Structure 1
Amino acid sequence: MKILYTATVSSMVNSFLVPHIQLLTLQGNTVDIACNVDEAINPELTRSGCIVHDIEFQRSPLKKENIKAFRKIKKLVMEENYELIHAHTPVASFLTRFACRNMPWISTLYTVHGYHFFKRSPLKNWLLYYPVERLVSRWTDGLITMNEEDYISARRMTLRKDGAVYKVNGVGVDMDRFTAQTRQQRNSLRKIYNYKEEDFILVYAAELSYRKHQDVLIEAVHLLKTKISDIKLILAGEGDMEDSYKRQAVNLNVENNIEFLGHRDDISNLMMIADAAVSSSRQEGLPVNVMEAMATGLPLVVTDCRGNRDLVKNGENGFVIENHNVNQFADAIHTLYESRNLSAQYGQHSRKIMEVYSLEKVIKQMDDIYSDYITKENQKKRG
């Protein structure tokens, strides 16, 4: 079967989709990739025969470059005779499905990594993204969602005849890479990373952006500094708010308690040295950083947003905090600091919950979904 994967940028493919594409290529399918190549595609994919088509998809839907991207993706689809297209990310998925709107012989899937309209989202999100998603769903054979709120929203969409809505457990976490934390491993790595055993370390692996809302965490550290003298907040990521957050840390006199690490490829180690993981995000799909922390066996303090609340159950494996509530964040973190037994209990529960979110389980879910469409295509050919 000839399959096309589309995503706005190649970094998204590299970060989340490599095992999914490998599933298809190992089964003998031909898989091409269309995306804006902001970084070289993982060589494992090119070695398996994937052809990469550089399409100028833009993250902003209003960029004029998307007109050119639409023309290129439509030309590519018409020339290459794909039988199945699996689209990811809002802009690429819209342009891809719009290009295929009059091609019902091509099966189209869209994985929703987080609708831009959601409970408590700005009105403009509902006015812009909701009608667009309803429109393009009419040219979609399958919607794949990752959290309960998106699943409910997707069920309200009108898909092509015999279209289906699915819910999978995220993109999958490699449970061999993110292993349960032990004190010996933690302390050994802390020496390598120049942290003290007595440091109380919080970790947040996410882009530095308005959406991820790190200013709440910086303020919480400011409130906790006198109560937890060795508190450290590790922020792993880059983004357009980096300078602003660094200025905030200096202004609050917590620059020695907060480390801006930039882009990192050692997230599993950073999770291993931490005492707890935090997420202050305003909006999520099903956050990989939270799942990776849970796989490591960490307790969590997260905001009450879609995705976060699917993974973290208040009082079971962490605390779910009102959005923007700095005092609640600080109190929850302090509770974990004061009660290491409670932290250990929450961490053990996190690891147990993550069993169903493992890469192995998610790949099985995706295999079942793909099998439906591959079977349909084979039946068409025989017919």
Structure 2
Amino acid sequence: MPHIRYFLNKGYDVGVAANTENSDVSRIEEFGVTIHHVPFSRKLFDKGNLKSYKIMKNIMKDYHILHLHTPISSFITRLASSKSHKVIYNVHGFHFNENGKWTTNQLYLATEKIAALKSDKIIITNLDDLKIAYKIASEKKICYVNGVGLDTNLYNIEKFLSQDKQTIKLELGLDQNKKILTHIAEFNDNKRQIDIVNACELLKEKTQDFIILLVGTGENFEGIQRYIQEKHLDKFIKCLGFRKDIPRILSVTDIGLLVSIREGLPRSIMEMMAMKVPVVATNIRGNRDLVTNGENGFLIPIKNREEIAKKCFVLMSNEDLSNQYGEVGRQIIEDYFSIETVLQQMEKVYRELDIV
């Protein structure tokens, strides 16, 4: 949304094309932009994407600049674009990755090479993808930007007094004296909430002074809830669903979690770091751009409930260490990942394309 606001402030007419089905677009509508519903699918070979291609072909007649996000919709839109468009592709993590299948990785690598031919700029947001990007497109097309930027004023723990935190815990039904561990992500196979549930089973053998908050919704939401009940872990794990008050939730969080298999540059970790929350995250692309093991959190192997439980217990048992990691995390966000920093980087890209 800051990028939308940026172009509006420059006097541009802005439109947003996305699959808005079952989505709340009210915050975007408040900008007064045109919203186009396009039935993009996350699956490359979905017949709905052929329909999306035709719809985008028609929509983009009224636009000169295409700033694209997410792999499949960006691939479709780039194929549909013409020479009259300035095309910017913001990569939030290539679909191929270190933990993907070889055949799938090769397929997505090939699609990126094809689509790169119709891209004026390809914006990379993590160092692992940057290494690969030079194999996909010419060096002059590649730009490195620190994600989409974070509002460090909004995500600021100093705004929350002790009384505020007590009230928030009361609203969420949380014990005032227990440590709060928070995982923010869509419920799907990639995000691996199941590993957190399994880690909880181990962690409660060492201490019972904690509650895990699983924030988000998705296709696995009900399945994870059933699994929690089957494991009799209801008193240790709360599924909060979709939330719009992430800064409030993070203000009462002691440890942040993200245990995905694949990421680009995860916003949830940036939010946690900005709120001075130490992080336990999987050692994958994107996560390791933000978390340095032993400096502002811990990096652990994927699908490893033992390490999740172990590192969480270390942080729960050492408040000084947790505070130290939190302070370091906040400084990293202020120095490199604030919205001000990112918009400056983006403006440089726009100027190279002579569009601002």
TM range (shorter): over 0.9
1:41 and 2:20 correspond:
no
| TM-score where L is the length of structure 2 | 0.93
Q: CA shift at 1:45, angstroms? A: 5.1
Q: What's the secondary structure of 1:30's corresponding residue?
A: coil
Moved more, 268-277 or 148-157: 148-157
1:240 to 1:44, Cα distance in 2 relative to 1, 3 A? closer
1:272 maps to what in 2?
Answer: 251
SS at 2:136's partner residue? coil
Alignment of 1:167-206 (within 5 A): 167-180=144-157, 184=162, 185-206=164-185
SS in 2 for 1:374: coil
Deviation at 1:135, TM superposition (A): 0.9
CA deviation after TM superposition for structure 1 residue 281, in Å: 0.6
The residue that corresponds to 1:365 in the other structure is: 345
Equivalent AA in structure 2 for residue 279 of structure 1 = L
CA RMSD of aligned residues (A): 1.9
Give the aligned residue type for 2:153.
D
Deviation, 1:97, is 0.8
8 Å contact kept, 1:180–1:351: no
Instruction: Report if the CA contact (8 A) 1:271-1:293 is conserved.
Output: yes
Residue of 296, 309, 329 corresponding to 1:317: 296
Structure 2: which amino acid aligns with 1:186? K
- Whether the 8 Å CA contact 1:222–1:253 is kept in 2: the answer is no
Give the counterpart letter for 1:73 in structure 2.
M
Is 1:84 the counterpart of 2:65? The answer is: yes
- 1:110 corresponds to which residue? 89
Cα distance change, pair 46–339 in 1 and its aligned pair in 2 (3 A): closer
1:121, CA displacement in angstroms?
Answer: 1.7
Match of 1:381 in 2: none
Whole-angstrom CA distance in 2 between matches of 1:94 and 1:266: 33
Quick one: distance in 1 between partners of 2:26 and 2:4?
A: 11
1:279/1:40 Cα in 2 relative to 1: closer, same or farther (>3 Å)? closer
Deviating more after overlay: 226-235 vs 245-254:
245-254
Partner of 1:4: none
Correspondence for 1:28: 11
What one-letter code is carried by the residue in structure 2 that aligns with 1:173?
A: L
Alignment of 1:230-269 (within 5 A): 230-269=209-248
CA distance in 2, matches of 1:268, 1:259: 18
- 2:74 alignment partner AA: S
Distance 1:320 1:169, change over 3 A: same
**Partner secondary structure for residue 86 of structure 1:** strand
Query: Unpaired segments of 5 or more residues in structure 2?
Result: none
Structure 1 residues 76 and 197, CA gap change in structure 2 (3 angstroms): closer
Partner SS state of residue 143, structure 2: strand
Partner of 2:326: 347
Show CA shifts across 1:230-281 (max 9, x none). Answer: 2111001111112222222223221210001111111111111111101111
Q: Count residues in correspondence.
A: 352
Deviates more, 1:306-315 or 1:226-235: 226-235
Alpha-carbon distance in 1 for matches of 2:324, 2:27:
40
Tell me if the contact between 1:170 and 1:362 (Cα under 8 Å) persists in the aligned partners.
Answer: yes
Range with greater deviation from structure 2 (196-205 or 295-304): 196-205
Aligned runs of 1:6-17 on 2, under 5 Å?
none
Classify 1:188/1:43 alpha carbon distance in 2 versus 1 (closer, same or farther; 3 Å). closer
Instruction: Classify 1:219/1:183 alpha carbon distance in 2 versus 1 (closer, same or farther; 3 Å).
Output: farther
Which ranges in structure 1 are unaligned for 5 or more consecutive residues?
1-17, 379-383
Matched residue SS, 2:353: helix
Contact residue 221 and residue 231 of structure 1 kept, 8 A: no
SS at structure 1 position matched to 2:354: helix
- Give 1:188 deviation, angstroms: 4.4
| Cα distance in 1 for residues equivalent to 2:200 and 2:278 | 17
Could you state the TM-score of these two structures normalised by the residue count of structure 1?
A: 0.87
